[in-house]
A = this chain, B = another copy of it.
Amino acid sequence: MSTLVIVRHGQSEGNARGEFTGTSDVPLTQEGWSESRRAGSLLANLGISFDIAFSSALLRTVDTCRAILNETNGDLLEPIRRTELNERDYGQLTGINKNVARERWGQDVVQVWRRSYSTPPPGGESIRDISARVLPFLISEVFPPLLRGKSVLVVAHGNTIRSLKQGIERLTIQDTLAIESPTAAPTVYRIASDLSIIEKTNVLVGTVC
């Protein structure tokens, strides 16, 4: 049995401003830092430490990952940064406040861009496009250590976590689209040798991922 922990970065400045943060490399807020440390101590209290850790190439996941590892591994592990895990490219929506976007393009249009499977925002990526870059990463870099009994941490973004969970939980497209990830709320999977899920726990009681 191996352990896989998937967690979204702590609150970023883009989140605090209610923006489509996307590829812009904004830092964590103070709240984001403290909830990242809390996530780490919760995992440490469960006796979890990691053999390997991945983040995206964006600062908010690198910092969250370090804050967690500081609690679980005592600074002895550095996140491996993968661009495949970078947040969705929101194209023209990037950096725009979500309410402003709804006023400009209309609630329904923005909702289609946000949560349909194959329609991207103008100049951006669809959720399908994200699955096409995240699933090869999951296959090539996460499954092998899990199959060797290792403990793996992946800190990513709301959209890339959606595709990660599509692969880990073998979800339909409909179920994949419905996934929402609160900031710094770890999901802990206990994984069997055939990659099936023995147990799935949302460490922050009361959060459904």
CB of A194 within 8 Å of the partner chain: yes
Q: In the assembled complex, which residues on chain B have CB atoms less than 8 Å from the CB atom of A167?
A: 135-136, 139
| Set of chain B residues within 8 Å of A166, measured between Cβ atoms | 136
A136 to B140, CA, bound (A): 14
**Does A170 sit at the interface, judged by CB under 8 A?**
yes
Contact residues of A between 92 and 112, Cβ < 8 Å to B:
none
A131 contacts B139, CB within 8 Å? Answer: no
Question: What are the interface flags for A63-80 relative to B under an 8 Å C-beta threshold, 1 for contact and 0 otherwise?
Answer: 000000000000000000
Question: Are B193 and A140 touching (Cβ within 8 A)?
Answer: no
The residue in chain B whose Cβ has the minimal distance to the Cβ of A127 is B132
* Structural contact, B136 and A128, CB atoms closer than 8 A: no
Bound CA span A148–B147, Å = 12
C-beta contact mask, A104-137 vs B, less than 8 Å → 1, else 0? 0000000000000010000000001101100110
Q: Which of B131, B136, B144 contacts A196 (CB 8 A)?
A: B144
| Count class of interface residues, chain A | 20 to 34
B140–A131 CB distance below 8 A: no
The answer to whether A139 and B170 touch across the interface, beta carbons within 8 angstroms, is yes
Q: Cβ of A138: which chain B residues have Cβ within 8 Å of it?
A: 139
- A16 interfacial by beta-carbon distance below 8 Å: no
Cβ-defined contact, B128 with A132, below 8 A:
yes
User: Which chain B residues border A196 with CB–CB below 8 Å?
Assistant: 144
Query: Which residues from B are CB-within-8-Å of A118?
Result: 129
A143 interface residue, CB < 8 Å from B? Answer: yes
Known: A129-B132, A131-B136; 7 extra A-B contacts, CB below 8 A, are: A128-B132, A135-B167, A138-B139, A139-B195, A143-B194, A144-B195, A147-B193
A selection of 21 A-B contacts at a CB cut-off of 8 Å is A118-B129, A129-B132, A131-B132, A131-B135, A132-B135, A135-B139, A135-B167, A136-B166, A136-B167, A136-B170, A138-B139, A139-B139, A139-B167, A139-B195, A140-B170, A143-B195, A144-B194, A144-B196, A147-B147, A147-B193, A147-B195
